[in-house]
């Protein structure tokens, strides 16, 4: 028996955003995301968060109090970007551990929840860096690789994106993503698809192109077949799928996680509720 997994609400697609550095322009970007019902993850260097907002510098950082106001809102997640933003591949394992753990510790103190996601400073990494992240409790880490595809990640600690927001194909990729459809009559239903956009919000000021993200957000908003989620929510959901315990013949499905899992089987919709055994007919 074949299970065809879907995101919450039996959706085929998910859209997420990832923005770095904790700069003052994030305030405007978060407002755009909220206006359009979108979700995203913001990767912060906690050592750069000061007592007051830096409004003078082009890439000025937010204060701790402003960061708490901007990012501690629905649909927004914060993640590690290291304590001081070094090239991690050039550092020893001990220094990498310090950079990651100190950033985690500070962000968790500010925001009041476990911070287990990350974006690599400069997008770069090395094998010893990835191993340190595993030891430090990091679940996913975004690179700066852009695939122009909508594949689900094969390696969450070397997480690529679909594209940067300055990609000239952004709108065309959006149209392709919107056109993906879930045909319930087909046995070989399409796989889960993720559109992942990354960048730095100060780039909208630098390039005088806030209209790009505004138009993209409006284009992608309000779609019943898209799950708008943070990086961490997508990670947790896909891991819940992986943890399902299914009988040899597929008739029984046990969900040991706390997250409901949605899927099709034999032309019917099923929800594997947390902590329960589901009979699939």
pLDDT value of residue 176 = 96
159-203-17 Cα angle (round to 5):
35
CATH architecture label of 13-230: Alpha-Beta Barrel (3.20)
**Type and span of the H or E element at 46:** none
pLDDT tens digit at each of 281 positions of the chain: 889 999 999 999 999 999 999 999 999 999 999 999 999 999 999 999 999 998 889 899 999 999 999 999 999 999 999 999 999 999 999 999 999 999 999 999 999 999 999 999 999 999 999 999 999 999 999 999 999 999 999 999 999 999 999 999 999 999 999 999 886 555 556 789 999 999 999 999 999 999 999 999 999 999 999 999 999 999 999 999 999 999 999 999 999 999 999 999 998 999 999 999 999 99
Q: Give burial (CB, 10 Å; 0-12/13-18/19+) of 257.
A: middle
User: Can you give the pLDDT at residue 184?
Assistant: 56
Q: What is the residue whose two structure tokens read 């509720």?
A: 273
Distance in angstroms (rounded) separating the CA atoms of residues 58 and 277: 55
What confidence score (pLDDT) does residue 123 get?
Answer: 96
- Can you tell me which residue has the tokens 């559109």? 195
Element (H, E) at 93: helix 93-111
The DSSP H or E segment spanning 117 is strand 117-119
**pLDDT value, residue 72:** 95
Task: Output the pLDDT for position 188.
Answer: 57
| Confidence (pLDDT) at 267 | 87
Q: Where are the domains of the chain?
A: 13-230
């Amino acid at each position: 028996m074949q299970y065809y997994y879907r995101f919450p609400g039996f959706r085929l697609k998910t859209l997420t955003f990832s923005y770095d550095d904790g700069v003052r322009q994030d305030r405007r970007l978060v407002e755009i995301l909220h206006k359009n019902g979108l979700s995203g993850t913001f990767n912060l260097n906690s050592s750069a968060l000061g007592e007051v907002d830096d409004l003078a510098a082009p890439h000025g950082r937010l204060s701790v109090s402003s960061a708490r106001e901007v990012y501690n809102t629905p649909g927004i997640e914060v993640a590690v970007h290291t304590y001081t933003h070094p090239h991690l591949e050039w550092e020893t394992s001990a220094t990498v551990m310090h950079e990651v753990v100190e950033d985690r510790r500070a962000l968790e103190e500010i925001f009041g929840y476990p911070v287990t996601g990350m974006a690599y400073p400069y997008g770069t990494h090395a094998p010893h860096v990835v191993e340190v992240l595993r030891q430090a409790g990091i679940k996913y880490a975004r690179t700066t690789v852009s695939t122009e595809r909508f594949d689900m990640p094969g390696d969450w600690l070397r997480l690529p994106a679909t594209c940067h927001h300055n990609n000239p194909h952004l709108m065309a990729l959006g149209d392709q993503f919107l056109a993906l459809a879930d045909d319930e009559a087909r046995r070989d239903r399409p796989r889960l698809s993720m559109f992942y956009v990354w960048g730095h919000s100060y780039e909208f000021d630098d390039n005088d192109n806030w209209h790009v993200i505004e138009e993209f957000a409006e284009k992608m908003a309000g779609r019943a077949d898209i799950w708008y989620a943070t990086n961490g929510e997508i990670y947790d959901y896909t891991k819940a799928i992986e943890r399902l315990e299914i009988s040899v013949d597929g008739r029984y499905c046990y969900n040991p996680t706390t997250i409901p899992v949605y899927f099709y089987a034999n032309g019917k919709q099923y929800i594997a509720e947390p902590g329960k055994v589901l009979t699939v007919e």
